[in-house]
């Protein structure tokens, strides 16, 4: 029997176990998790009358990997699309909220009339966006920051007022250090293949591809591509767990890995039943900084490279507020806040307006995001101070006057990787170093994307590689046995 250990039971570890069980049905898999639950940074508060997401509140479907897993699990009917009402995002300008122009998708303008009519930018700022059509394409292949790319193509005002808050809300990152190639390579390809973002929009104006039609409809975020479980994201994680035969070990921290004399791997843990086992393969599905510590004894070079990928902390305040007190013009799916506004929050999401039956009809669940790489100093504040900041922002931007009917703060410490300039080359170097390390894989959000679909894709492809390696070993052993039989 093949023995496999997966360290970490977040979405990456759960997905890897799910695929491995179907590729290697006779393998024994130990799924090892340091906390008392599965899901990692995915967590849902489900005490009536509120269903509140403490982490990610939905899954994108434009990258198909998450949707394919859901369909393979047979639970597609348990997911719903966002409500059609208020399906747009807004941005703060001088303390007031304004809709992001129709057809402005992350950083690509696709509807020129909407840009010209937007009050978010000055006339010169709007004309500068239209001038993107005449900006020459860069003829070098070196990675650059999101800020550099956006300012070069769209101008400083568009970057400060639209691109930076949208990107900051997604990645909780500083755009001046965020890698364009690692996070928004599709726009780099637009410049390379079409000469610019507007030129690409013109070239695809009649395209019926889902990604192109969504870009034309988008107001910052492409809400058409998202969906969520009716019963919350933790329900999905627990459903994956329920479909596994793997042995789950909660409250079990792994300290490090080491090779045995016969080339297998052992894990150091307080659980003696696991520490005495030898594994044919270990898959580490933890944040990069955790994986770095675990593998230091088996590959110090890869460990050092992993440790260079920085992670930042953030906080989410969840407020149950009275719907009647919210200004009508503030109702939307979400509000992003530019850094130039000098406020203490990154974004506000009205999550109960996105998905139905999350709270009573006269109530709105608002999620207020703070910290990240943009405002890391806020993470030194107490929970009470952060909640007070969130309440003040909801009063200022939404018009709320009464205290919240219910509130909660969740901290995500060192949870979001920062894809700095050159990240793709760094990942390539890590994987090259790991090639010489037998029986070991590393997956998670440190590599190819912070989104759930990207994590699931890496988990699936890694499971396939692990299964193929054992299939090859079995084939070689069969050939050797056959050779010995006939030679004997």
Q: Of the candidates 393, 417, 441, which is a domain's last residue?
A: 417
- Interval 165-211: pLDDT, tens: 999 888 999 999 999 999 999 999 999 999 999 999 999 876 656 55
pLDDT tens-digit map of 282-292: 999 999 999 99
Together in a domain, 301 and 316: no
CATH assignment at residue 292: 3.50.50.60
Q: Cα dihedral sign for 115, 121, 122, 124?
A: negative
**One domain, residues 123 and 202:** yes
Q: What per-residue confidence (pLDDT) applies to 217?
A: 56
- Are residues 406 and 425 located together in one domain of the fold? no
Same domain, 27 and 115: no
Sequence-distant (6+) residues with CB within 8 A of 373 are: 172, 173, 174, 177, 312, 418
3-state secondary structure of 126: helix
Q: Is the pLDDT of residue 272 over 50?
A: yes
In a domain, 350, yes or no: yes
Q: Where are the alpha helices (DSSP H) in 249-345?
A: 272-275, 288-294, 300-307
Tokens 């931007």 identify what position? 397
Q: Domain total for the chain?
A: 3
Q: Are residues 320 and 406 in the same domain?
A: yes
Q: Say yes or no: 173 and 262 in one domain.
A: no
Asked if residue 207 and residue 114 are part of one domain, the reply reads yes
Torsion from C-alpha of 384, 386, 391, 393, nearest 10 degrees: 160
Query: Does 90 fall in a domain?
Result: no
Shared domain check, 211 and 69 = no
**170 & 257 share domain:** no
In this structure, the answer to whether residues 279 and 260 fall within a common structural domain is yes
pLDDT in tens, 10-42: 999 999 999 999 999 999 999 999 999 999 999
In a domain, 143, yes or no: yes
DSSP helix/strand/coil, 125: helix
Q: Is 223 a member of any domain?
A: no
Order the strands of the 440-442 sheet from edge to edge. Answer: 247-249, 28-32, 3-7, 281-284, 440-442
Residue in 53, 35, 37 with CA at minimum distance from that of residue 45: 53
Decide if 94 is inside a domain.
Answer: no
Same domain, 432 and 291: yes
Closest CA to 222 of 88, 355, 57: 88
What is the pLDDT confidence band of residue 485, given thresholds at 50, 70 and 90? very low
pLDDT score at 222: 65
CATH of residue 176's domain is 1.10.3110.10
Rounded to two decimals, the pTM is 0.92
For the chain, the distance separating the N- and C-terminal CA atoms, rounded to the nearest angstrom, is 27
Place of tokens 């360290």: 7
On whether both 159 and 138 belong to a single domain, the answer is yes
- Provide the domain limits for residue 35: 3-40+231-309+421-487
Q: What is the mean pLDDT of residues 461-479?
A: 76
Domain boundary among 172, 187, 215: 215
Per-residue confidence band for 324, with pLDDT thresholds at 50, 70 and 90? very high
């Amino acid at each position: 029997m093949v023995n496999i250990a997966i360290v970490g039971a977040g979405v990456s570890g759960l997905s890897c176990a799910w695929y491995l069980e179907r590729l290697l049905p006779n393998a024994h898999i130990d799924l090892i998790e340091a906390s008392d639950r599965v899901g990692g940074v995915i967590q849902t508060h489900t005490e009536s009358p509120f269903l509140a997401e403490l982490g990610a509140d939905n899954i994108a479907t434009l990258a198909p990997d998450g949707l394919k897993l859901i369909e393979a699990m047979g639970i597609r009917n348990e997911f719903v699309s966002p409500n059609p009402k208020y399906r747009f995002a807004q941005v703060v300008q001088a303390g007031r909220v304004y809709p992001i122009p129709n057809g402005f998708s992350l950083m690509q303008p696709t509807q020129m009339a909407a840009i010209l009519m937007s009050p978010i930018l000055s006339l010169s700022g709007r004309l500068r966006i239209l001038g993107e059509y005449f900006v020459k394409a860069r003829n070098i292949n070196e990675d650059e920051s999101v800020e550099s790319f956006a300012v070069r193509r769209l101008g400083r005002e568009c970057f400060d007022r639209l691109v930076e808050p949208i990107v900051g809300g997604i990645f909780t990152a500083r755009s001046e250090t965020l890698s364009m190639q690692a996070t928004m390579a599709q726009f780099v390809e637009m410049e390379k293949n079409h000469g610019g973002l507007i030129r690409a929009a013109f070239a695809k104006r009649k395209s019926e591809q889902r990604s192109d039609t969504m870009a034309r409809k988008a107001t910052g975020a492409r809400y058409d591509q998202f969906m969520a479980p009716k019963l919350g994201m933790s329900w999905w994680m627990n459903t994956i767990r329920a479909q596994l035969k793997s042995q789950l070990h909660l409250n079990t921290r792994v300290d490090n890995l080491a090779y045995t004399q016969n080339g297998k791997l052992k894990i150091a843990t307080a659980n003696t039943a696991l520490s005495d086992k030898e594994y044919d393969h270990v898959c580490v599905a933890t944040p990069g900084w955790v994986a770095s510590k675990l593998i230091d004894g088996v590959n110090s070079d890869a460990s050092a490279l992993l440790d260079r990928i920085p992670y930042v902390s953030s906080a989410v305040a969840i407020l149950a507020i009275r719907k009647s007190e919210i200004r009508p013009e503030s109702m939307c799916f979400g509000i992003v806040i530019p850094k130039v506004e000098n406020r203490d929050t990154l974004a506000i999401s009205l999550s109960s307006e996105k998905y139905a039956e999350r709270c009573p009809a006269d109530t709105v669940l608002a999620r207020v995001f703070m910290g990240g790489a943009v405002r890391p100093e806020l993470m030194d504040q107490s929970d009470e101070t952060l909640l007070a900041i969130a309440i003040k922002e909801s009063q200022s931007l939404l018009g709320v006057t009464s205290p919240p009917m219910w509130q909660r703060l969740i901290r995500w410490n060192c949870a979001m990787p920062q894809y700095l300039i050159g990240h793709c080359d760094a990942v390539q170097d890590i994987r090259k170093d790991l090639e010489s390390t037998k029986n070991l894989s590393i997956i998670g959000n440190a590599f190819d994307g912070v989104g759930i679909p990207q994590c699931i894709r890496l988990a699936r492809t890694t499971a396939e590689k692990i299964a193929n390696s054992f299939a090859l070993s079995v084939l070689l052993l069969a050939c050797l046995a056959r050779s010995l039989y006939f030679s004997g």
